[in-house]
Every structure is written in structure tokens, then in C-alpha cells.
Chains A and B, each alone.
Chain A
Amino acid sequence: MVIAKTTEGEVGVMPGHTPVLALLAPGAVVRVLGGRENGEVRAAVHGGFMVVSQDNRVSILAEVAELAEDIDVERAKAALRDVESGGLSPEDVDTLARAARARSRLQAVGETV
């Protein structure tokens, strides 16, 4: 099963799902249950979309994506602290995007944010 957060909310895709093309929410975490030895693959995905095809194939396409094991936790924490200390304003799109990226990285490695 693939669990991802789209702009419409969290979705879980089971085998045999109808074909869907969905935009992922900014700073989303994608989880693939049943993959790898530890039973789960997690990735932080920024600005992308998910395609579910007929033949039980799910493609996640993003401009930036990182697997949980490749994420530098300290760096993401520092980035988040950095952004939050500067104060968030709703107009500042770049800063908000940075915060979302840092948050999704931390969520992907299992930290609570």
C-alpha cells in the first residue's frame, strides 16, 4: 500500500486502485508499506504528483525527493529552527516552502514536528 498526502488530503492506494493522477501537498511524506526488509519505505517529497496506473503501478514524480535513510536529520532540524526563529509570515512563499521541506524531511525519518 502507498500512503501519500495530496492537496486533497491523505490517500492510501491499495492494489487494484482506479487510475488516478493527484498532486501531492507541499512537503509531503510518501510511505510505501510492504517494501524493503523493514516493511516500509519513507520519502520526503517536495512539489510533485502521484500517478496510479491500471497495471497496479504507482509512480511518484517530484522535483526534489529524498529517501528517509538519505536525510540529514541535523541539517533539517537546523533549517527548521532557522526558519522558525526568523518568524513565519504567510506572504513569504520561499520561507514557507523551506519550512515545509524541513518538516517533511523530519516527518519522513519519524521525528515528531
Chain B
Amino acid sequence: MGAQLRVYRRRIRSTKSMAKITRAMELIATTRITKAQRAVEAAGPYAREITRAVSALAQRVTDHPLLTESENPTRAAVLVITSDKGLAGAYTANAIKESERLGALLRDQGKDVVQYVVGRKGIAFNQFRQRPMERTWEGITERPSYADAKEIASELMDRFTKDSATEDGVDEIHIVSTEFISMLTQKAASHRALPLEVEEVDAEVLEAEQGGPLPLYDFEPSAEEALNQLLPQYVTNRIYFALLESAASQQASRRNAMKAATDNAEELAKTLTRQANQARQAEITNEISEIVGGADALAAARAGSE
């Protein structure tokens, strides 16, 4: 066997084994998306209700410290949710790009940015560039629990309730996460968690989302008291939801990346097989022409001697 052919065969073998690995990863990711999606759906009703309750309260209480924007915001906390493991396509890159964009915007507005990072990949990115991170969390991105979200939320709420000028607190909390739009599309997006964003929503949209305008609730014991207790829960829920949605997006992104990798590997194996066949054929042709040439030479020599 010729050297060239041997090289081709080796490359085909390694490409095929790689395709097997990526195919397995694709299948694993596929099963995990379903699980992650189910977790997102299960968290939906609670998220809807708490949003509804908080918006009802926010209408009533206007001068709560957690709702009012600081007159002169100087510092903003950004929570970036990335992945712990690689091989998820552009998932982490997109989340980081979005956080960079948000960071630049906040700096333009004259605010310091303090980063909180979830996921090993995001941490590595910032460490490599020697950017400061306030606090990081690892190993929770694939199956986030409510306790994880609570830990992150209490850390952020602590910082938020402090005064930004004297106690090193923050005036705003932003969350950068990846929205799960469909199995094929995930989009990195940023939201401000606190102070609450006042959104102008059409009455029709509101009705479709929340089932009618908000009734005039009686509050027990009082609207302020209720808001005090509800807001931390609301923020925790926002973070929990962002973590869940990011987990689903991460798996979907990984599945797509692995599908593309498998397809490419199979394509490459096909091309290499063709090239190997060609090399083999060339070798055979060469051998034949050698034999024919030799036979001709012999025949010519014999004819000359007779």
C-alpha cells in the first residue's frame, strides 16, 4: 500500500470516530433540552403570578426605595450567565458580547460596572483579560436550582440596598442571559432587574399576557410591607427564570453545534474516501502500466533477438 493511501485511511478513521463522539453529544444535548424546557415551563406560572403581583403593587406604591431610580446612578451590577462547558457553539461568545455591549453603554452613561459571572467559560474569559469580577458561580448552569438563584439574588440585593456613594453599593442590577426562542434560535439579551423598568404596554398586549387589567387589590398588611417582602422574591424569581432559560438555550446551542460538527465530519469522511479511492486507483493504474511496460520491453527484446 502506498504512503499516500495510508495517510488517507488514517484520516478517514479519525474523522469517523470524531463524528461518533459529536453524534453522541448531540443526542445527549437533545434529551437535556427537553428536560430544561420542562423546567422553564414549570417555572412559568409562578413567574407570571409574581410579576402580576409586583406590577399591581408598583402601581400603588411609587416612592419605594427599590423602585425609584437613583437621581445620579454611579454604579451598576451586571450578572452575566454563561456556560460551564464548551462545545456549545457561540452560546458563551454571544452572552459575553451582549454583556460587553451593555457594559460599554453603562460606561457611556457614566456608571461603573461591577461584574457577577455565572459559568466557568465566562470566568475564564474575564480572568484571561484580567478584568475584575465581584463574585462568580460555577457548576450551576446545567441544572440550576432555586437555592442557587436565591444565593445570587441575596448577594445582589445586599449590594443594591447599600448606598452607592458611601457603602460601595450599586444603583442598578442588570441580567444578561440567553433567551430560548426556538430549538434553532437563541438570543442573548439584557434586562434590568432593579429598579423595575416601567414598560409602556398596550392594553391588548397586557390583556393577552396577564388576562385582563389588574384588579384593585386590598393589601394586607400594607402595600409597602407586601412590596418589601415581594421584591426580593421577585428578583430571585427573575434570576431563577434567567438561569433556567439560559440552561435550555445552552443545550439547544450545543445540540446545533454538535449537529453541524457531525454533518461536517461525515462530509469530510466522504471527501476523504473519494480521495483515498482515487489514490488507490492511481496506484493500481501505475502498477498496470508498469507491468504492461515491462511486458512490452520483454516482447521487444525477444523480437529483436529472433
Contact = CB atoms under 8 A, between A and B. Distances in A.
A57 B146 CA distance: 26
Interface string B205-242: 00000001001111111000110011001001000000
Contacts of A54: 212, 215
A54 B218 CA distance: 11
A51 B53 CA distance: 8
A19 B215 contact: yes
Contact of A19 (B49, B50, B218, B221): B218
A49 B236 contact: no
Contacts of A104: none
B218 A49 contact: no
Contacts of A53: 215
B146 A23 contact: no
B226 A49 contact: yes
Contacts of A7: 220-221, 225
B57 interface: yes
B220 A21 contact: yes
A22 interface: yes
A8 B220 contact: yes
A63 interface: yes
Range class of the A interface residue count: 10 to 19
B49 A59 contact: yes
Contacts of B226: 21-23, 49
Contacts of B49: 51, 59, 61
B46 interface: yes
A27 B150 CA distance: 19
Given A19-B215, A23-B225, A61 B57 contact: no
A54 B215 CA distance: 7
B53 A18 contact: no
B200 to A, nearest CB: 24
B46 A21 contact: no
B140 interface: no
Contacts of B193: none
Contact of B229 (A20, A23, A59): A23
B215 A8 contact: no
B87 interface: no
B56 interface: yes
A59 B211 CA distance: 14
A23 B53 contact: no
Interface of A: 6-8, 18-23, 47, 49, 51, 53-54, 59, 61, 63
Given A21-B218, A49-B53, 5 more contacts: A23-B226, A51-B49, A54-B212, A61-B233, A63-B236
24 contacts: A6-B220, A7-B221, A8-B221, A18-B218, A19-B215, A19-B216, A19-B217, A20-B217, A20-B219, A20-B220, A21-B53, A21-B56, A21-B57, A21-B218, A21-B219, A22-B219, A23-B225, A49-B53, A51-B52, A51-B53, A51-B217, A61-B50, A63-B146, A63-B233
